Copies of this chain bind each other. A is one copy, B any other.
Amino acid sequence: MSSGHPLNDVFHPRSIAVVGVSANELRESLMGWLPRLLGFGYQGRIYPVNPRASEIMGMKAYPSVRDIPGPVDYVIFNIPAQLTPQIMADCAAKGVKAVHVFTAGFSETGKEEGRRLEQELSSIAREGGVRVIGPNCMGIYYPKEGLTFYPTFCKEVGSVAFVSQTGAGAIRFVNLANDRGIRFSKVVSYGNACDLDATDFLNYLADDEETEVITCYIEGVRDGRAFFEAVRDCMKQKPVVILKAGVTEGGAAAAASHTAALAGNESVWRAFFKQTGAISVESLEEIVDVVQALLHFPCPRGPRVGIVGRGGGIGVLATDSCEKAGLAVPSLTEETRSQLEKVNPEAGASVRNPVETALGLAGASQFYQEGLKIVDADPQIDFILTHIGLDVYGGFGPSLAEQLEQTMDILIETVKTMTKPVVVVLYPGARLDVISAVAQAQRRCLEARLAVYYTIEAAAKAVSKIIRYNKFIEETRSEPVR
């Protein structure tokens, strides 16, 4: 992290003022910017600003930012759009370094008044030397410093950054990712980007030592060239995963009305991904899938997968999904097949690829244990995908969670002795007791640092993208320096 970077004031504010905090704001409610900061453990000074209150939540309230005695690094705007220029002037006068304008009602309305207001706001900020996140956005989630825009986000620190033009989408994404074991370094929802935009955040994150993986939700960027260069620079040091929204005609129109973004031409973005090597995904869920693989799936030597699991038809569908995603499902060698047959006691199980295991009613079997190792040793195979579905091995009744527990014991112990990467698919099923048992099994995989997915499609796509990413990195690194 470069010291003196303007974004240091955003991520490391020594004091925060919240403008537009209600006099009735209660800590217990969790919502409201003040309770969020307090509840999440922010350690700096907090100043509520409200001209009609003298004390809020036990803290002295100030009529304006100018009236706060000490220095103020960062201000959160939670007031109607019409009032924002006046508050920004206060911030400039006070020497505030950065602000987060949560308030909406600017250029994204498509109306002259909103556009004018946004221009006024940003010109006051520029002249006063105040950097702006927003307007129309959720701001910062930085667990290390106790900053958050959603009270139930995970307080644990991780290595994934998310740069997002969507606020509600950022809430959804972080919740989803938290649930699948992903922890964050820094998250920013920056909305209309009247000042700081994706390019600024990427440039900062490229050198940020707390961040190992960068993920983005982008609707459009002001300066395409600068964004391209920022992504290319990041890619020299860490993977960048980008969800480009507004790729269809209707989607581009929607993006314009959401954050006033120019979504840009589809072919331009295709070329962008080809040249930067950034990993392109199509949904928030797929960002999580790819990050899972980046964090927990050591890249295999090639795309040849050995599929192991119960259900012949499930195996055929798994094979289709893998090949559609660009993976290969080759036959196993004669040697491997004859070894599998020796340990596989069950007629109806297949010893080819996909391999059908006799993962019986007891939840697991010797074959599963032995079979994984035999497939692991096959020279035709670069990695193993194993799929486990309670609903296809008779899992019902009270011992269901126990059965899965036992299967996970075998799987996790066996993987330790294997030479090739393993990806796990835990089919969630439909009933709540199954979902709950599967969530527990997922946690065990993550503790064992195993990439885990809910569908074979998701696993195959994510793994395939990681393999392509690694190939891109190898090729660009081996290119002569120009």
Contacts and interface: CB of A to CB of B under 8 A. Distances in A.
Nearest to A243: B317
A410 interface: no
Given A168-B310, A250-B329, A347 B104 contact: yes
Contact of A31 (B166, B328, B394): B394
A93 B104 CA distance: 82
A392 B168 contact: yes
A455 to B, nearest CB: 8
Nearest to A361: B31
B317 A283 contact: yes
A323 B251 contact: yes
Most-contacted residue by chain B among A165, A172, A328 (CB, 10 A): A172
A168 B80 CA distance: 57
Contacts of A321: 283
Number of copies: 2
A322 B348 CA distance: 41
B311 A169 contact: yes
B311 A166 contact: yes
A103 interface: yes
Contacts of A394: 31
A272 to B, nearest CB: 17
A352 B166 contact: no
Contacts of A323: 248-251
A151 B457 CA distance: 29
A427 B169 CA distance: 12
B324 A248 contact: yes
A389 interface: yes
Contacts of A31: 361, 394
Interface string A328-339: 111100000000
Interface string A379-405: 000000000010110101100000000
B151 A317 contact: no
A271 interface: no
Nearest to A102: B348
A313 interface: yes
Contacts of A391: 171-172, 175-176
25 contacts: A104-B348, A105-B347, A136-B312, A164-B313, A166-B311, A166-B316, A167-B313, A168-B310, A168-B313, A169-B313, A217-B313, A250-B322, A251-B316, A251-B320, A251-B329, A254-B316, A254-B319, A254-B354, A255-B316, A257-B352, A283-B317, A432-B432, A432-B435, A432-B436, A432-B439
Interface of A: 30-31, 80-81, 103-105, 108-110, 136, 151-152, 164-172, 175-176, 178-180, 217, 219, 243, 245-251, 253-255, 257-259, 282-285, 310-317, 319-324, 328-331, 347-348, 350, 352-354, 361, 389, 391-392, 394, 396-397, 427, 429-432, 435-436, 439, 455, 457
